[in-house]
Amino acid sequence: MTTPYEVAVRAEAELGEGPTWDAAAGRLLWIDILGSRLHTYDPATGRRTVRRTEQHIGAVRPRAGGGLVLNLRDGIGLLDPDDRFRWLHHEPVPGRRANDAAIAPDGALWAGTMRYDEAPGGGTLSRVTGGGTVEVVLDDVAVSNGTGWSPDGRLMYYIDSPTRRVDVFDYADGRISGRRTLARIEESAGFPDGLTVDAEGCVWVALWQGSAVRRYTPGGELDRVIELPVPLVTACAFGGAGLTDLYVTTARVGLTDPPALAGSLFVVPGAGKGLAQPVFAG
């Protein structure tokens, strides 16, 4: 099934990623990882802002007290409501950078990393509390990517992109167990990248080199495909006042002849119903 899309923001992001609805501000946050840029977009007014970050940025999420938490190359940073920056956790590792991140039901940040050369085992997935305590949860990761929780908070979905799998864990009290496979992405469809979970418990997965977003049921069945006019589809999230519009980021990095819309932010109006997302407890 193909659903009509619109171009929300025409852009040339090198590696557009991490769309996140900031409910308190009524805006969408998204990033360009390799362009070191933090974007905002207000769909009600069309207002956009762009802020350059001092280093590559893997993810951005709202904070409970205002401001933003940033998954950066060298650790976890905080932007305070007055726009001042400070490190919550600073841990530079040569050859490694931040990648996707998500907020768990308890307000902790689950932050992923990867090596620039994408070496197997070079990345991690860590749980970061509001107080700055960091615990490495998975330490044998290549490209840590999409992470999300079921509507009841009892399951966590996770993607390590080169595995071509969407995995699911049991989740309780900040701990995961019982890893198993929800869905496998066939080679011809590209690699799974970012994900989001909707109010029905279905998992939407962006497909890098696949020109599409797929929705899988909680049982792992493919039941919907949204095709896009660019090959590098990176991540997706529901936004807008009713959380019914699906925003999709894309990239153009490495393309010798990129399509005109590569690197733009797309939106699929009325695609479904998203879940209100927790904010970082720090």
The yes-or-no verdict on residue 1 having pLDDT over 60 is: no
Q: What is the pLDDT of residues 8-39, one digit of tens each?
A: 999 999 999 999 999 999 999 999 999 999 99
Is there a binding annotation on residue 106? no
Span 45-60, average pLDDT: 97
The yes-or-no verdict on residue 149 having pLDDT over 50 is: yes
Annotation marks residue 245 as catalytic? no
Is there a binding annotation on residue 160? no
> What are the φ and ψ backbone dihedral angles of 189, each rounded to 5 degrees?
-100, 0
User: By the 8 A CB rule, do 30 and 247 touch?
Assistant: yes
- First-to-last alpha carbon distance for the chain, in angstroms, is 41
Distance CA 18, CA 194 (A): 7
Domain ranges, ordered by start, for the chain: 6-268
User: By the 8 A CB rule, do 159 and 195 touch?
Assistant: yes
- Could you tell me the strand order of the sheet in which 48-52 lies? 16-22, 27-32, 37-41, 48-52
Q: What is the mean pLDDT of the chain?
A: 97
> What are the φ and ψ backbone dihedral angles of 187, each rounded to 5 degrees?
-55, -35
Q: Which two tokens stand for residue 136?
A: 């490495």
Q: What is the pLDDT of residues 174-229, one digit of tens each?
A: 999 999 999 999 999 999 999 999 999 999 999 999 999 999 999 999 999 999 99
Span 83-112, average pLDDT: 98
List all residues 6 or more positions away from 277 whose beta carbon is below 8 Å from its beta carbon: 20, 21, 23, 103
Report the predicted TM-score, pTM, of the whole model to 2 decimal places.
Answer: 0.97
Is there a binding annotation on residue 180? no
Task: List the catalytic residue out of 193, 223, 245, 257.
Answer: 193
Distance CA 94, CA 273 (A): 41
Distance CA 205, CA 22 (A): 20
Distance CA 73, CA 34 (A): 10
Is there a binding annotation on residue 17? yes
- CATH homologous superfamily of 6-268: TolB, C-terminal domain (2.120.10.30)
Is there a binding annotation on residue 145? yes
> What are the φ and ψ backbone dihedral angles of 67, each rounded to 5 degrees?
85, -170
Q: Cα–Cα distances in Å, from 211 out to 247, 249, 261?
A: 14, 11, 12
In this structure, how many other beta carbons lie within 10 angstroms of the beta carbon of residue 171?
21
